[in-house]
Amino acid sequence: MRGVTSTGPGTAAPDAVRAGRAPGAARAVRAAVATWPRRVAWGVVVVAVAGVALAGGFDRAASASGPPPSVAAGEPVATGAFDLTVTAWTLTDAWDPEGLEDVGADAWLAVAVHALGTDRETRALDAAAVTLPEPLPGGLEVVGDARADRPAAVVLARDGHGYPQLQPGLGERVLLLWPVRGDVADPLAAPDLTVSLPLHVYRDLTVGGGRYWAETGAVVRVRVPAGPVPAVLDPSATVEDPWAALDAEGGA
Amino acid sequence: MTREHPAGAAAAGAPAAGAPDAGRRRPATAVTVLLVVVAVLVGAAVARVDAWWPVLTATTTHGEAGEVVTAGPVRVRVDGVRTGSVLADGGEMLTTGGVWVGVDLALSGTVDDAVPAVLELRDARGRDYAASTRAGNLLASVPHAADVPEGGTVLFELPAEALAGDLVLRVLTEVHDADVDRPQAVAEIALGSARPPAADVVLEPAEDALVPGGWDG
């Protein structure tokens, strides 16, 4: 007897075949596990999904589950190469008025940060160490080449030295400055400013060898109160003269 | 795209069609196994290639205070170490939250004009403090003629606790980056421990000047 080579439309199927025909879904399942390679493949898929689930891979990501962690002003935050403590912010037009004119700004927005180098070598504070909120309170607007995460200048609060190189283990107060436009009439009446501190991790460079401090994408928020203008930004302030103290000591 | 078997082949039955297929599968399976083995071996080799590759590290010359130490294009001799809590630099009084450390030294090139890329102090904990950018530190940043030593004071700012152990002056001849180990000539000069300054001790750096008599003087 010749074998049946087609069961297409118009071909009469034997009764035995018709009686044993399973529903479509059941047939698909049976086909899916009909051979050992298919069973192994399904086993791999099941184990992989179960493994991901057990490892927490289907949990809601931390960054999506809520706002970034916050600390109070004055509390240190370990950001990577530096422990940063944001203490206050202020507005002033007394420092570098030519710089303000050049970019058409009304004042400098200064954020005061205590930076303690925890790395093993001298480093400058990362340009993106502090990020301003957007938009700024009170309708203020960053102008010029500065951006919310890139201040126009960084100075040492001790003596106004620009772009200071900070020594490991030697904490210094630094001021990050952004030129801003807007209502700067009464700096001390300004509301709190919530800044972000990006966190870094020391890791291998993908190409070329070596290691570097890379941003993790995570940030810590700090709600910073307005404070007085630091003496180094205020030419009218009385700055203690170390020569005078030494002269007085020598004269005595 | 798949090729259809001629109707005749299907009609001829499985044994007749299967025999040549089975013959073709055997070499295909062997090739697959061979490729897997090759892939595993290549992966293992790539994972270890960094360890096999020659590591180009710095060539370091060690010395002590009073010795002329040569590191590639630069020669250096340390003559003393002083500390202060205030620095008198260029008519300014610079305060610090730590201590000022002044290293009196002389520098020259070896065969041509040379400038050290970096001068730094290493403390007992392995932390490196670059010459302060707050101070003038001109000696550390200008070229020095071959074997015409120029003396002066290079100034560093350290936390007070860094003086608890011995200090080492490191003279680097290439751009420094602690994150990358570069092949370069380095001089390391042991300074011993430095005495912490009393309050209000002013460190006054020596004027930069040629060393009379040169290295033999």
How far out from the chain centre does Cα B44 lie? 29
Q: How many independent structural domains does chain A possess?
A: 1
Most confident of A10-24, A33-47, A61-75, B45-59: A33-47
Count Cα neighbours of B158 within 13 Å in the Cβ-side half-sphere. Answer: 33
Contacts of A169 in chain B (CB under 8 A): 127, 159, 161-162
Q: Which of A170, A149, A154 is nearest to A215 (CA)?
A: A149
Domain that holds residue A176: 70-233
- Residue to test with chain A: of B93, B163, B177, most A Cβ within 10 A: B93
Whether omega for the bond prior to residue A76 falls within 30 degrees of 0, making it cis, is no
Check: CB of residue B118 under 8 Å from CB of residue B172: yes
- Residue to test with chain B: of A82, A166, A170, most B Cβ within 10 A: A170
Q: Which amino acid is at B42?
A: V
Is A239 among the domain residues? no
Is A135 among the domain residues? yes
Q: What is the dihedral of CA B174, B175, B178, B180, to 10 degrees?
A: -80
What does the pLDDT average to over A181-206? 83
Per-residue pLDDT, B183: 74
Q: Among A122, A156, A211, select the one facing B130 at the smallest CB separation.
A: A122
What does the pLDDT average to over A174-183? 93
* Min Cα separation A68/chain B (Å): 30
Per-residue pLDDT, A229: 87
Per-residue pLDDT, B128: 95
Q: Which of A87, A63, A64, A65 is nearest to A75 (CA)?
A: A87
Which tens digits make up the pLDDT trace of B131-159? 999 998 999 889 999 999 999 999 999 99
CA distance A43 to A50: 10
3-state secondary structure of B63: strand
Is A169 among the domain residues? yes
Per-residue pLDDT, B176: 64
3-state secondary structure A124-155: ECCCCCCECCCCCHHHCEECCCCECCECCEEE
Residue A188 banded pLDDT, cuts 50, 70, 90? low
* DSSP states along B64-119: ETTSEEEETTEEEEEEEEEEEEEEEETTEEEEEEEEEEEEEEEEEESSS-B--SEE
Which two tokens mark B53? 């590759």
Residue A245 has pLDDT above 60, yes or no: no
* Min Cα separation A246/chain B (Å): 7
Per-residue pLDDT, A219: 94
Whole-model pTM: value is: 0.74
User: B124 Cβ partners below 8 Å, 6+ apart?
Assistant: B162, B164, B165, B166, B167
Which CATH number is A223's domain given? 2.60.40
Per-residue pLDDT, B163: 96
Backbone angles phi, psi at B173, to 5 degrees: -110, 0
Tell me the residue ranges of DSSP E strands in chain B. 59-64, 68-71, 74-89, 92-109, 118-122, 128-130, 150-158, 167-172, 185-192, 202-203, 209-210
Beta-ladder partners of B105: B78, B152
Is A126 among the domain residues? yes
How far out from the chain centre does Cα B42 lie? 31
Per-residue pLDDT, B28: 83
Per-residue pLDDT, A25: 87
Contacts of B85 in chain A (CB under 8 A): none
Which tens digits make up the pLDDT trace of A194-238? 999 999 999 887 776 678 898 998 999 999 999 888 999 987 765
Contacts of A156 in chain B (CB under 8 A): 134
How far apart, in Å, are the Cα atoms of B183 and each of A94, B92, B176, B213? 48, 38, 11, 33
* Min Cα separation A16/chain B (Å): 23
CA distance A32 to A50: 20
Is A98 among the domain residues? yes
Inter-chain contact A158–B95, Cβ cutoff 8 Å?
yes
Mean pLDDT of chain B: 86
Is A244 among the domain residues? no
User: A136 Cβ partners below 8 Å, 6+ apart?
Assistant: A109, A142, A180, A182, A193
Per-residue pLDDT, B50: 76
Q: Which residues of chain B have pLDDT under 70?
A: 1-26, 176-179, 181
CA distance B103 to B205: 9
Check: CB of residue A127 under 8 Å from CB of residue A151: yes
The residue of chain B nearest to residue A167, with distances taken between CA atoms, is B129
Mean pLDDT of chain A: 83
Which tens digits make up the pLDDT trace of B6-26? 444 444 444 444 455 555 556
Residue A222 burial (C-beta neighbours within 10 Å; 0-12, 13-18, 19+): buried
How many interface pairs between A and B have CB atoms less than 8 angstroms apart? 74
Per-residue pLDDT, A101: 94
Backbone angles phi, psi at B70, to 5 degrees: -105, 130
Which tens digits make up the pLDDT trace of A61-70? 665 567 889 9
What is the H or E stretch that residue A40 is in?
helix A36-54
Check: CB of residue A159 under 8 Å from CB of residue A205: no
How far apart, in Å, are the Cα atoms of B76 and each of A165, B149, B154, B183, B197? 25, 8, 12, 20, 26
Contacts of A158 in chain B (CB under 8 A): 95-97
What is the H or E stretch that residue A203 is in?
strand A193-204
Is A158 among the domain residues? yes
Per-residue pLDDT, B178: 63
3-state secondary structure of A188: helix
Chain B residues near any Cβ of chain A (below 8 Å)? 10-11, 86, 93-98, 120, 126-130, 132-134, 157-159, 161-162, 176-181, 200, 202
Beta-ladder partners of A46: none
Is A41 among the domain residues? no
